[in-house]
Structure 1
C-alpha cells in the first residue's frame, strides 16, 4: 500500500494570473492498494495521473484501489484538480519504478492541468512563480513567509474553471497589462519579505477578478467587510468562488466577526483560518 498527502493551493493571488501560487495547510490523503477488479471510474483524475505515468514508461498498469480522505473543497478554486494530479503522479512514479525527477513530474502534471500555477505549489509547497516556456515549466519557489495567515472563505456552490474562463475578455487594454505587471511584481516581493505596506496595493487586479466576480455575487461585500476588519489584502482564489483574505498572524478578532457576517450572505459560506504550507506532496 502507498499513502500520499498533498496540500490545497491558491493561484493568481490577485494580479498573478496563471503564474503565482501558494500552498495552504488544507490536506488530502490518498491510499493506493492492489485490487482484484478494475477501477470503476477511469475518468477519475488521480487514476488518470497514475495511468499517464505508466503509459509514458510503457509498462502495464496493475489493478488498483484508490481511497481518498478529502480535506480540499472541490471546484472552489483551491487546487483540488492539481492535488489529484500531483498525488497520482507521485504514486504512479513509485508503482511503475519510473524514477522520474520532480521536475519531470511537474511537467507531466502541467500538461494534464493546462497551466502550472497550482501544480507547482502542490508538488513543492511554499510560494511559487511559474510559467511554460518552450515545453518546459520554469518556476521559482520560496518558503512561504511565516508572518501571515489566510482566511479561506468559500460557499456551498461550485464554480468550474471552464465556466470562469468563459467570462474573461479575449483582449485587454495596454494600461491594464501594465497595471498587473506592477502589482504582480510587488506581490511577489511582499510574499517573500512580508512587507505589509506593499500588500495594500499588490493584490489588486484588472485581468480576471473584475470579470469573474460577476459569478460570485457576494465578492465585493465580503472583500469590503474583510478590509474593514483589518485584512491586509483580499483576492479571488484561483477561478473562484473561494475568497481569501491575508491576515497578520497575531490577528485575533477577524474570525468571529467575519463568520457572523458570512451567515447573512447567500451561499452558506464556510470560513477557515489556515497557514501557508511549505510541505510539498509527500509519501507517508
Structure 2
C-alpha cells in the first residue's frame, strides 16, 4: 500500500481529459489502421490525500460500469503511475461518457487513454511522458495499438509493433473524407468477434488485403474517390458476419450503392467513409429505408488533435 505522504507531490492536483472515439480496421487495415472521430468522452481526475479510488460515471455506462478501482479508467491511471515508478495517490474520478460501449467505436481504448493521459497531467513537472511512452502504456492494457493510437494522437494512424514495442505514424486525412457511423441498439464483444477469426487465411486473400490497405492510405490522405475500392476486405469482416447479420446486410447494400461501408472496429456499428458530405446523407437515407432495427446515424468529423489533458480549474478536495 502506498502511503499518501509518498504521493504528496501530486496531491491537490486536478486535470481534465478529453478523448475521441475511434474506428479501427477501416475495412482492409486489420489491427493496423485507425481513425479518430469527433465524439468525446471527458474525464476529471483529482489526486487526494485520502487513500482509495472513487469513480463517478454519467452518460454512457452510468449504473453499469464499476465505480471502484476495477474501473478501466482507474486501472489505467494506476498502471501509468506504477509503470512510471511513481506512488499512487488517492484518486477521485468523474467520467462523462458519450462514446457507445460495445459497438466498435473504441470505448475501451478511450477509457484506457483517458487514464493514461490523466496520469500524464497529474505528473506534469515530475515525470516527462513522451508520445512513445503514452502509446506503450496504453497498448500494455489494450493489447494492440490500432485503437489507442488514433485516440492518443488523432487523425489517421498506422500502428505496428516491433521488438522494442508499439509504434505509430499519424497522417492528415483529406478534407473531402466525410465519415458517418451507424450505431445499432445491440452490442458485440471484441473478444467474441476475434474468436470468429480463422487461424490462417489463403495467400490470395492476404495479398488482396495488402494491396487494399496500401490503397486505403492513399485514398484517405489524397484520393477520396478511391475509397470504395480501397475499403474491400477479405480478412475479417466476412468471418464475423454471422455474429452481426444486419450489419453485414447493410454494408453489402451500401457498397452496392457505391458507398465505402465497412464494419467499425469489431462491430456491430458500421462506418461509411464518404468522399464528400452528400454521400453521408445518401447513406443515412438508405439505412433508414432498408434497416430492420433502429440505427442511430452519427455524422462526425475526423478528430485532428487526439487526446488532450489540461489542469482543471476546480480545486481537488483533499
- Do these two structures clear the TM 0.5 threshold for a shared fold by scoring above it? yes
Length, aligned pairs only: 280
Shift of 1:200: 2.0
**In structure 1, how many angstroms separate the alpha carbons of the residues matched to 2:172 and 2:212?**
20
Shift of 1:259: 5.3
Pick from 208, 230, 246 the counterpart of residue 273 of structure 2: 246
Give structure 2 stretches of 5+ with no counterpart.
Answer: 1-13, 54-66, 311-318
| Alignment-derived partner of residue 273 in structure 1 | 299
- Report 1:1-284 matches (<5 A): 1-35=14-48, 36=50, 38-39=52-53, 40-96=67-123, 97-196=126-225, 198-227=226-255, 230-231=258-259, 233-251=260-278, 253-254=281-282, 257-258=285-286, 260-261=288-289, 264-266=291-293, 268-284=294-310
Shift of 1:81: 1.0
Contact 1:37/1:63 (8 A) holds in 2: yes
* Misfit runs of 4+, over 4 Å: none
Larger mean Cα displacement after TM superposition, 218-227 or 108-117: 218-227
**In structure 2, how many angstroms separate the alpha carbons of the residues matched to 1:250 and 1:94?**
36
**In structure 2, how many angstroms separate the alpha carbons of the residues matched to 1:222 and 1:243?**
8
Contact 1:255/1:273 (8 A) holds in 2: no
Q: Deviations over 1:174-201 (max 9, x none)?
A: 11111111111111111110331x2221
Q: Secondary structure at the match of 2:30?
A: strand
- Choose 1 or 2 for highest CA Rg: 2
Q: Secondary structure at the match of 2:204?
A: helix
Q: What TM-score do the two structures reach when normalised by structure 1?
A: 0.93
Shift of 1:79: 0.8
Larger mean Cα displacement after TM superposition, 247-256 or 274-283: 247-256
**In structure 2, how many angstroms separate the alpha carbons of the residues matched to 1:173 and 1:191?**
27
Q: Deviations over 1:14-41 (max 9, x none)?
A: 0111000110111111111245462242
Q: What TM-score do the two structures reach when normalised by structure 2?
A: 0.83
**In structure 1, how many angstroms separate the alpha carbons of the residues matched to 2:129 and 2:35?**
24
**In structure 2, how many angstroms separate the alpha carbons of the residues matched to 1:253 and 1:283?**
34
Shift of 1:237: 0.9
Contact 1:144/1:277 (8 A) holds in 2: no
Larger mean Cα displacement after TM superposition, 165-174 or 215-224: 215-224
Structure-2 change in CA distance of 1:65 and 1:258 (3 Å) = farther
Contact 1:229/1:254 (8 A) holds in 2: no
Q: Deviations over 1:4-63 (max 9, x none)?
A: 001001110001110001101111111112454622422211111110111123322111
Give structure 1 stretches of 5+ with no counterpart.
Answer: none
